[in-house]
Amino acid sequence: MSANTLEEAVALTKKFTSKPSNEELLKLYGLYKQATEGDNNTERPGGFDFVAAAKYNSWSNFSGKSKSEAAEEYIALVNNIAAKYS
């Protein structure tokens, strides 16, 4: 199984039978947000909301990357890890 579009890649992740690592999940999140919304212009979460801060940082890591580049990387990552988690 492999995905050719962002929508197919998202659908493929929903078929995973086990959960990817936190590092992989954060990379998927950051690439998805960059592919669908572009650069992160939101305010960084403060306090002790570590999950929100990690997501913010992951998305920000892809700042400057075009939506199409981020989508291609997201698809490639999903296709790369699909065998491990499907």
pLDDT attached to residue 80: 96
Cβ–Cβ < 8 Å for 72, 8 = no
pLDDT attached to residue 2: 87
pLDDT attached to residue 47: 81
| pLDDT averaged over 10-residue windows placed end to end, the chain, 86 residues | 93 96 98 98 92 97 98 98 93
What is the C-alpha end-to-end distance of the chain, expressed in Å? 9
Question: Is 6-85 CATH 1.10.10.10?
Answer: no
**What is d(CA 28, CA 31) in angstroms, rounded to the nearest whole number?**
5
**Four-residue CA torsion sign, 39, 79, 23, 21:** positive
**Taking the CB of residue 49, how many other CB atoms lie within 10 A of it?**
11
